[in-house]
Structure 1
């Protein structure tokens, strides 16, 4: 399961890309509509980064969630996903993910709401 921030225009744009081109055999849900307790994650985790929750209930966040998504999507996407799991690429991916996530309101598809704290963002549908 892929859990993303449904209030963020940039995140929603990225998820639409994933649905259209990667077509993973996975549930994709905005954290605002997910039963986070059932998934074993907290609201704070979901607000902070993209989450991938596998069938065993293990949660992966940020760049590692992206890696798991790519791996799960199959070829040709699994190759870069596997690469994202290996140091030093893993470290660089983490840094890049944080840079993007921290500035998502300034990126294409982002909205001013992306820069607001989660409790002050209007829900985008």
Structure 2
């Protein structure tokens, strides 16, 4: 099995942040287009976040963004605790404070990396 390159891992992280940073309406359309559930946004970030520290160590990601990435991880991880099943419904993207916070921090993280956060979400391949 081949180990993903640093540029591939960085791209996955940036793309997960782009989806997370998008407005709720855009996220809803993206989820519908790809036929995936709301939690896929959090799962994509989780997978990519696990590769962030090595990217910083390799100089492929600015170290200043790690605090923001950790904050997003805490917010998304905390969303699974307690009695908040409605936050994982698509309407939760609009109404849940945790989604709002994760979106805000994702935008802040993208600024030093990209100079802005793109409004066009990446395409994904869904394996069913």
TM-score w.r.t. the length of structure 2 is 0.28
**Bigger proportion of residues as helix:** 2
If asked which structure has higher relative contact order (CA below 8 Å, sep 6+), I would say: 2
